[in-house]
Structure 1
Amino acid sequence: MKTIIIDDNKKSIQVLKLLLSNLCPEVNVIGEASSYTEAVKLIDNNELDLIFLDVNLTEEITGFNVIDNFKNYDFKIIVISAYGDYALQAFDYNVIDFILKPINSQKLINAVHKVSTFIKQKDSAGDARNFLSVQSTYKIDLIKIDDILYLTADGKYTSIKLKDNTEVLSSTNLKVFEEKLMSNNLFFRVHRNRLVNIKNVISVDKRDGFFCVMDNGERIAISRRKKELFLKYIGLKE
């Protein structure tokens, strides 16, 4: 996999390169950048599979500002940062994983494996679908995945809440949708009867429980059993 590392700390770059060399031989680091200008130029001049992205490049500029220069990019992103506060924002950029410093070796291996899996799936099946086929009694809706806020089990049926606050009722159960959607790394089962689109979570509310706050302002409860897994999922715990 053609890979670059973006980090303002050169020592951190060397540590990551050593870990990748020892643990992830499929990763081919072809360049590194320590500033916004270097990073933009490096991405612009190469066809990449993967970017390891640090968040804090300067006090004013983040790694996300670098990515903002590129639309409809094909490369995958793994964020590596000392600051867990950026975890939710990272999912707005379809990151594969968010790894806290100091880097946990197993989490690095797992993140790289996810990227390898995505690339293999794309090679074998063409461009990944960005929609979900939803079957109801009389029709089949093609719903853009980005438009989904959450899915809720309703007996043998599933209710799908969209960003425009409309709902679609499907005759397919939630488990089937979970199997379809979990592969894109953006959906998490916060409760036994609810699956949320992490990309449309804007914050986590810890008042009177533990809740995902969605784009439309709704608070979706995260069960006690799922709390620790959720924190790991968004990169706030190892």
Structure 2
Amino acid sequence: MKLHKESKGTITVATLLFIIIAGLSIYFLKFWAILLLIPVLVIYGLVFWFFRVPERHILDTEENIIAPVDGKVVMIKEVDEDEFLKEKAIQISIFMSPLNVHICRFPVSGKVVYKKYHPGRYLVAWHEKSSTENERTTVVVEGFNHHKVVFRQIAGYVARRIVFYCNEGDEAKAGHEFGFIKFGSRMDVFLPLNTEITCKIGDKTTGGIDVIAKLK
């Protein structure tokens, strides 16, 4: 199983903790140490599972909006996007549990025209106000027919580290990685009002593969 580059520090700490807990358990608990080590081993394994990098065949696309993350669609609504667009837009929000792949992918192809990091709070990621009050990053790509698509990584109550690698002027390719979030969070995508939405609330998304909307 291939692991993401953001896993190095976390897995090193998790391995050291596992060795310490295992050593102390065997020394003090003897035979009964197994009762403690089984759940600890499960948690240790979940750390590796969280940082997995699945192989996916990404197709080139222009007008399609691709799911930027693995997760569940929790919101589709018309909102005022006040940071960049300064107008109404359709917001699609996808929530990621700690068991989902947490690679963040460009939802649309084009050129990165804006990026900004915002410090903030750590409300639970499914809270509606987390989109504007939590720690977050905002990226904008100008794509098909000069449409500008805004998308936002949002840290949740558990997620405390957002990473994004793109810069203004970079080429964006739909479905390809631009960042990562540790451990459970949300991604919002803001689209023009005339966009054809092809997903619905409750849908499970596969990042880089599923089409969630189409630009016109």
Whichever structure has more helix as a proportion of its residues is 1
Whichever structure has more strand as a proportion of its residues is 2
TM-score (norm 1): 0.24
Q: Which has the higher contact order (CA 8 A, sep 6+)?
A: 2
TM-score (norm 2): 0.26
